[in-house]
Chain A
């Protein structure tokens, strides 16, 4: 903390945090959303067969992951046992951890796709694109839920705001469910073409579908932790 040499007695100022952990959680969330949107746009290009610039995108996503890691470390390192928060600190940290996992998976996906440029069969392109869009929507829904936690704290945990946060969490679940369905469609589509495709391609296509879906799964985990965080 800066300005420590004011030469006065101020137990009051020791009591406060300069930054609310919830603000930081939202900040972290903002990084994730930005990163996933970038990934979505990049992957749609990739699915359509344009590999140009994808390496740069993978680097960018790695950079994002690193930035978010710093925020995560900052939050985690400054939550001592003596800190009193309006929610369970353990659950708060789990939510943060799951948020972070989203970026880990995004990074992994980008790098893996960059290592081997797999051509997506024409018939499957639209399915892959739709799947990615749905996953990005799940993350977006999750951002709304996380942002609403801030309102909840601001209002001093009124019932009204809790209900609203629950609505947002519900939307994440819905989005994740639709994304899951789409993943099965994608998988079915891949198996339909298994005779035509090179086995390595099949393997990688299945993997890509899995990796993309991992992102939605972790978004759902965040929502679950938020739900248990605000449970009475």
Chain B
């Protein structure tokens, strides 16, 4: 490998790392803030959970979305020239990083996912015209941007309704909570195990890929964890039929589980925003000069992204968690639990489908879901308007940035 390639890889790698850091510092910490605000976990615990589980999510499930970003938006076959492609991915990453930094400074609620997709489209249009953009995939992604907050909203709504119907409405809410809470945790574990075995390398490594084996195994895992998480509750007694405080206390413990779920899903989806372009450049620079969309993303790159996100959460995330967590103290544990479950499930499913979605927008959708279930005293819906503006702003602006950077790069290099 000659020096130039090494220099390029080093540059792109550190840019990807920066992007991952940014995601960890801002987005992951943002999502963990529900648990911190609801006092389910402390800042320190949040940082540790965010660090470890986003890393795991990135490494274990992160490849799907990364592959989408790497080779499914701009069609490498039409552009052909690997030099141009490489410049394009570098330009996209630069543009997205720049835009995300700007937005973070200006506190616009944009999504890194939208920035990177917009940037890819921008370079693709300049480099290969509109034929090289995979419009079908893009439409699918755009639809997922609308659907993911909606799905988060519906799921959180349902979970909260279940909590109200099966716990709060019962004669002895605390006793019901001891069963229903761990049961939902069990479902969570079932979902994660299913997705790990069917959609990642875990299945082949362990040697279990057959669905008839995966399903009972996942059910077993879910059941075991449910029983395990019910154990610490044995001694807790409800004081009256309106003892909602003790119910919240139980969910405070359970929310540790769902916040792990959030961090895991987050890593699985968002690592691609940082690592996707890096993976593309790497395979262009080291391979035979062509970009194969189906070439697997090397795990060490996902690990790099995971480390970046974890670093972001550890170094800068506490600031975000503290501020956001302090603002959302009205969120109690049952609500936080519902939000976490709705958002994380949606994000995990999207990650398995290879759809790059915005986690923070999904979390907002989930919060609105709990609000619609009459679970929150007041929610400001004007946030929806802000998010829609940010969609309309982010994609074209990131595209323009990326196009300009691409043109400049092509002139110099």
Q: Is A231 engaged at the interface, CB distance under 8 Å to the other chain?
A: no
Question: CA separation between A71 and B164, bound complex, in Å?
Answer: 31
Interface string of A154-169 (1 = CB under 8 A from B): 1111111100100000
Q: Are B324 and A18 in touch, CB under 8 angstroms?
A: no
Whether B374 contacts A156 by the Cβ 8 Å rule is yes
User: Chain A residues with Cβ under 8 A from B383's Cβ?
Assistant: 11, 14-15
List the A residue with the shortest CB-CB distance to B25. A8
- CB contacts under 8 Å to A, within B336-392, are 360-361, 363-364, 367-368, 371-383, 385-387, 390
Distance in angstroms between the alpha carbons of A13 and B330 in the assembled complex: 11
Q: Contact between B160 and A15 (Cβ–Cβ < 8 Å)?
A: no
Q: Within the complex, which residue of A1, A9, A160 is in contact with B360, where a contact is CB–CB below 8 Å?
A: A9
B151 an interface residue at 8 Å Cβ cutoff? no
Interface pair B382/A82, CB less than 8 Å apart = yes
A20 to B380, CA, bound (A): 12
Asked whether any CB of chain A lies closer than 8 Å to the CB of B241, the reply is: yes
The answer to whether residues A11 and B169 also contact, given A16-B379, A21-B378, A156-B160 and a CB cut-off of 8 A, is no
Q: Which residues of A from 30 to 87 have beta carbons under 8 Å from B? A: 79-80, 82-86
In the bound complex, what is the Cα–Cα distance between A160 and B243 (angstroms)? 12
Residue-wise interface mask of A (82-98) relative to B, using a CB-CB cutoff of 8 A (1 in contact, 0 not): 11111000000000000
**Number of B residues whose C-beta is below 8 Å from A?**
57
Nearest CB in chain A to that of B247: its residue: A155
Point out the residues of chain A lying under 8 angstroms from B218, CB to CB.
none
Contact B375–A20 (Cβ < 8 Å) = no
Is residue B83 contacting chain A, with contact meaning CB distance below 8 A?
Answer: no
- Contacts A6-B319, A12-B367: A83 and B381 contacting too (C-beta < 8 A)? yes
The answer to whether A7 touches B105 (Cβ under 8 A) is: yes
- Least CB distance, B105 to chain A, in whole angstroms: 5
Answer yes or no: B127 CB below 8 A from chain A CBs: no
Question: Does residue A124 face the partner (Cβ distance < 8 Å to B)?
Answer: no
Min CB distance A79 to B, Å, is 8
Minimal Cβ-Cβ distance residue in A for B103: A9
Contact A16/B330 with A86-B376, A155-B164 known, Cβ cut-off 8 Å: yes
> Once the chains bind, are A84 and B109 in contact (CB under 8 Å)?
no
Q: Does A15 contact B164, Cβ atoms closer than 8 Å?
A: no
Question: In the bound complex, what is the Cα–Cα distance between A5 and B106 (angstroms)?
Answer: 9
Whether B208 is near chain A, meaning CB under 8 Å from some CB there, is no
List residues of chain B with CB within 8 A of the CB of A3.
Answer: 323, 326-327
Instruction: Spot the interface stretch: B26-34, B63-71, B184-192, B282-290.
Output: B26-34
Please tell me if the beta carbons of B244 and A12 are within 8 angstroms of each other in the complex: no
In the complex with contacts A11-B387, A12-B34, A12-B328, A17-B360 CB distance below 8 A: no
Task: Say yes or no: is B168 at the interface (Cβ < 8 Å to chain A).
Answer: yes
Tell which of B164, B320, B332, B372 touches A10, judged by Cβ atoms closer than 8 Å: B320
Count residues of chain A with CB under 8 A from any CB of chain B: 40
In-complex Cβ contact of B332 among A16, A80, A154, A158 (8 A): A154
Q: Roughly how many angstroms separate A132 CA and B110 CA in the complex, as a whole number?
A: 59
CB distance from A101 to the nearest CB of B (A): 24
Do A12 and B360 contact each other (CB < 8 Å), given the known contacts A6-B107, A21-B378, A160-B169?
yes
- 8 A-B pairs with least C-beta separation: A20-B377, A11-B109, A86-B374, A82-B382, A156-B164, A13-B327, A158-B169, A17-B378
Measuring CB to CB, which residues of chain A are less than 8 angstroms from any residue of chain B?
1, 3-23, 79-80, 82-86, 151, 153-161, 164
15 pairs of residues in contact across A and B, judged by CB atoms under 8 Å: A3-B327, A6-B319, A10-B26, A11-B360, A12-B324, A13-B323, A15-B379, A15-B380, A17-B377, A22-B377, A83-B380, A84-B380, A85-B377, A156-B334, A159-B169
Beyond A3-B326, A7-B105, A10-B26, list 18 extra A-B contacts (CB 8 Å).
Answer: A4-B107, A7-B104, A8-B26, A9-B107, A9-B108, A10-B107, A12-B31, A13-B328, A16-B330, A17-B378, A83-B379, A84-B376, A84-B379, A86-B377, A156-B334, A156-B375, A157-B374, A161-B242
* Residues in chain B within 8 A of chain A (CB atoms): 25-27, 30-31, 33-34, 103-105, 107-110, 160, 163-164, 168-169, 241-242, 244, 319-320, 323-324, 326-332, 334, 360-361, 363-364, 367-368, 371-383, 385-387, 390
